[in-house]
Amino acid sequence: MLLRPAPILCALLAFASGPVAAQTVFVTTPQNTVDIPPTAMVPDLPGPDGEVSFWEALIVSDNTPGQQTIGFQVPASQFTTFVFILPPPNTGLKYVIDSVIIDGTTQTAFAGDTNPNGHEILISIPLYLVGAGSVVRGLQSTNLRLTFDPSNTSTRADGCTVEDCNQPTLSVDTDDNLVRNLMEGQVAIRGDRNRLVGSVVEKVTVEGSDNIVGGSSPSDRNTILGLYDSDRNTGLPTGVALDLPWAVRATIENNYIGTTPDGLAPANRGAVVGLRIGTSTSIVIRNNLIGGILYQQSNGLIAGQSVLFLGPSNDVRFHGNTIGLDANGDPTLPSLTGITVDPGWNPTNVLIGGSGPGEGNTIAGHLLSGIEVPNTVSGFRISGNSIYGNGLAGFPYLGIDLLGTGNSTPGVTPNDPLDADTGGNGLQNFPVLASAWIDPGGVLQVSGQLDSEPNTNFGIEFFGSSQCDWSGYGQGEVFLGSTAVLTDAAGNAGISVSLGAVPVGWYVTATATREPSGDTSEFSACVQVVDTVCAADEGFMGPGMGTLSICGPPLSTGNSATMTVTSAAPLAPLWVSYGPFYNPTPILGGTVVPVPGTTRLIGTTDASGSFQFSPIPGGGGPATVYAQCAFSDASLPGKFGITNAVRIDILP
C-alpha cells in the first residue's frame, strides 16, 4: 500500500465516498505538474506523483458535476513566506468553465499566517472564470476575469464573488457580481448590476448598466488611489482614479477618490484626474471625497482636475460630495480645478448640487477655479453648494467661472444689456445686490436686481461668506436660500428676500439660473451684511396711539428701508408727510413736519391698526429728512390721529 503525506489524505477524504458534487479539493504543491487525464474527475486525484497541483484541481473541478471548492494545504517545507503557483510549461490563460470556489484562506488555516504583508497564495496564472456563482477568496492573482465561455456565450460568470484578494487586474465582464475588500490593483467593470465595495485599489473603470461603486455604509467605502499613465505620443500624464467612459445608471457613493485611505493626504501624485465622465448617462455621484489631484510635470507645469467631463454625458447628478477638503474638513487636497468640462464637449442635464437636504457639494481650496464652464457648454446647473477659497489671490480665477469665445480669458465676465452675449452657460448675467442687513427680528434681508433676458424665469440663490473673494465677486461659503423672479419686458426683475441670518460683517453673494434651461451664472459682487439702523425717533406723538418706525440698512444709493405703522385706528386711511423741515413748535399736539411739504395717501391700516410700506429708497444724500404719518380716527378730536416723527439721515 502506498503511504501518502497527511495533506494528500485530507484531499482523499474530501471526496472519498458518496455523491461527487460539492466537494473540496486541496492543492498540496506549488508545482503545476499534471499527471492525470484531461477528463479526470475528483475521485481520480491524486495522480501517480501523489500530489494535487492547482492545475489538476481546476481540471477535475470543471469535469465533476456541481460546484467544487479548491482549497490549499501546501506544507511549509515547500515554500517560503507564500505559495507561488506557476502555470504548466507552454500554458497561457486558463478558462475555468464550471462554477468553482477558490479559497486561499484555507492555506492560512493550514499553515498559519506566513505572509504578514499579504496572502499566502499567489497565483501567477491568468484565470478567466466562466461558471456562474463562482467565488474567489483570500489570495492574490496576477490577472482575474469574470467572463463568459468564448465557445458558448450563454455560459457566463454571473453572480460571482471576489473578496479579500490582492488583485493587480480584475475584469468583470458579466452581471450581478460582488467584489469586496480588494487590496490593490485595477478593476474594470463592464457587465451590469455589479458592486464594488470596501476595497483599496488604484483605478476603477465602470461601463455597463446599473453598477454601484461604494455604498451608504462606511464598510462599503472604496479608496481609489489614482494611477499614473501617459500618452503614447506626447508622454504627458493621463492617469485617472475613477473612469466612467460608457456607464449607464451607475451610482458612485461614499468613496475616497485620489486620497489615502484615511482621506487626509494625496495618494498618487502621478494621476491627473480624480473622476472622469465620458459618454455616460443617468449617473449619480454622491457623498464622495475627491481631491489631491496635482501632478508636477518635468517642465514645471502642474496638471490636475478633481472632476473632468470628457464626453457628451447626459443626466449626471453630483450630490453631497466634498471636492478639495480632506476628511477633517481642511483644504489640504487641492487640485488645479474642482470641476471642469473639457472644451469641445457639451454634457447635458447636469446638476451640481441640489435643493434637497445634503445635496449641496463643498468645492474648496483649488488653485484655479472651483467650477469652470467652457464656451461649448450650456445648461450646467449649479445649485445649493458651498464654494469658497478657490483661486490663488491675484490671479483671475473664481468660484464659478464661465468662459467666453476661445476659453482663453478666465475671470469675472461683466453683465451685458439683455444678456445677449454667448459662452459657457450663455454667459448668464449675475444679480446685482444692493443691500444685506439684519432686521430687528434677526432675519437677513437682501435686496437687489437682476438685469437679463426679458420675460424669463430665473432662480436666484444666495450665499454667505466670512470673506469676500479678492476679486470682489463671490464666493459662496454657506448656502442661505433662494427665490424665483420673472424679468419684465425690459429684462429687469427686483430682488427682495428674507433669509436665515449670518453674522454682521459677513458677505452675501448670489447667482442666477435661467429656467428651465439651467444656465447658472458666476457669483455676484459681494455686499457686506450690516445691522439694522432705525430712523431717530423725534417724539411728539399724538393725538392717538399710532407709532411710526423706519428701519433697514443705512440709507445710501441702492439701499432701502421699510416704514411700519402700528397702533393706529383699524382700517383707516393713512397719509405720510415728509420733508427737510423741522417744526420746533409742534401744532395740533404733535405735528412736526409742516405743510407745505410733501404729503400723500399711502394706504389703509389693517384690522389691528398696522401698516407696512417697503421699500423707502436711499440715495441722493447726504441729506436729512423728517417723516410723520396721519390717519383717520373718528374717536379723536379733529377726527385725525398723528404718529411720532422720525429723522432719516440719508448717506451718499
Q: What is the pLDDT of residues 322-332, one digit of tens each?
A: 999 999 999 99
Assess contact for 374 and 346: CB atoms under 8 A.
Answer: no
Question: Mean pLDDT across the stretch 309-332?
Answer: 97
User: 365, 222, 252, 396: which is closest to 316 by C-alpha?
Assistant: 252
Give percent above pLDDT 70 in the chain. Answer: 92
Strand locations in 74-141 (E): 83-85, 94-96, 100-103, 121-123, 127-129, 135-137, 140-141
Clarify whether residues 497 and 616 are in a common domain: no
Clarify whether residues 134 and 6 are in a common domain: yes
Residues 513-524 have pLDDT tens digits of 999 999 999 999
In a domain, 345, yes or no: yes
Clarify whether residues 168 and 104 are in a common domain: yes
Residues 340-382 have pLDDT tens digits of 999 989 999 999 999 999 999 999 999 999 999 999 999 999 9
- Provide the pLDDT for residue 6: 39
Question: Mean pLDDT across the stretch 97-118?
Answer: 94
Nearest-angstrom CA–CA distance, 351 and 1: 75
- Provide the pLDDT for residue 543: 82
In a domain, 236, yes or no: yes
Assess contact for 460 and 430: CB atoms under 8 A.
Answer: no
- Provide the pLDDT for residue 15: 40
Nearest-angstrom CA–CA distance, 229 and 239: 4
In a domain, 460, yes or no: yes
Chosen domain end from 490, 515, 530: 530
Cell numbers at 564, concatenated = 411700519
Structure confidence at residue 593 as a pLDDT band (50, 70, 90): low
Clarify whether residues 41 and 174 are in a common domain: yes
Assess contact for 605 and 572: CB atoms under 8 A.
Answer: yes
Clarify whether residues 46 and 165 are in a common domain: yes
Cell numbers at 50, concatenated = 501523489
Clarify whether residues 202 and 306 are in a common domain: yes
Bigger pLDDT: 445 or 560? 445
Three-state SS string over 488-530 comes to: CCCCEEEEEEEECCCCCCCEEEEEEEEECCCEECCCCECEEEE
CB atoms within 10 A of CB 443: 13
In a domain, 372, yes or no: no
Clarify whether residues 169 and 233 are in a common domain: no
Clarify whether residues 509 and 549 are in a common domain: no
Chosen domain end from 155, 184, 213: 184
* Dihedrals phi, psi of 406, to nearest 5 degrees: 85, -10
What is the widest separation between alpha-carbon atoms in the chain?
133
Cβ partners under 8 Å of residue 26, min gap 6: 7, 10, 11, 14, 52, 70, 71, 72, 73, 106
DSSP 423: S
Does the pLDDT value for residue 339 go beyond 90?
A: yes
Low-confidence winner among 187-196, 371-380, 453-462, 570-579 (lowest mean pLDDT): 570-579
**Helix or strand or coil: residue 359?**
coil
Domain that holds residue 606: 533-650
Domain containing 582 — which CATH number?
2.20.130
Number of domains in the chain: 4
Structure confidence at residue 230 as a pLDDT band (50, 70, 90): confident
* Encoded amino acid at 352, one letter: I
Question: Mean pLDDT across the stretch 107-116?
Answer: 94
Residues 252-308 have pLDDT tens digits of 999 999 999 999 999 977 788 999 999 999 999 999 999 888 877 666 678 889 999
Nearest-angstrom CA–CA distance, 446 and 465: 14
Low-confidence winner among 40-44, 392-396, 478-482 (lowest mean pLDDT): 392-396
What is the rounded average pLDDT for all residues in the chain?
89
- Provide the pLDDT for residue 21: 53
Clarify whether residues 198 and 302 are in a common domain: yes
Nearest-angstrom CA–CA distance, 508 and 433: 8
Low-confidence winner among 28-42, 48-62, 614-628 (lowest mean pLDDT): 614-628
Residue with cell 473612469: 243
Clarify whether residues 210 and 233 are in a common domain: yes
Assess contact for 381 and 351: CB atoms under 8 A.
Answer: yes
- Provide the pLDDT for residue 540: 75
Nearest-angstrom CA–CA distance, 258 and 269: 9
Question: Mean pLDDT across the stretch 35-46?
Answer: 96
Clarify whether residues 321 and 199 are in a common domain: yes
Clarify whether residues 550 and 448 are in a common domain: no
Structure confidence at residue 19 as a pLDDT band (50, 70, 90): very low
In a domain, 373, yes or no: no
Chosen domain end from 502, 530, 558: 530
Assess contact for 332 and 366: CB atoms under 8 A.
Answer: no
In a domain, 393, yes or no: no
In a domain, 505, yes or no: yes
- Provide the pLDDT for residue 10: 40
Domain containing 479 — which CATH number?
2.60.40.10
In a domain, 410, yes or no: no
Does the pLDDT value for residue 582 go beyond 70?
A: no
| H/E segment holding residue 105 | helix 105-111
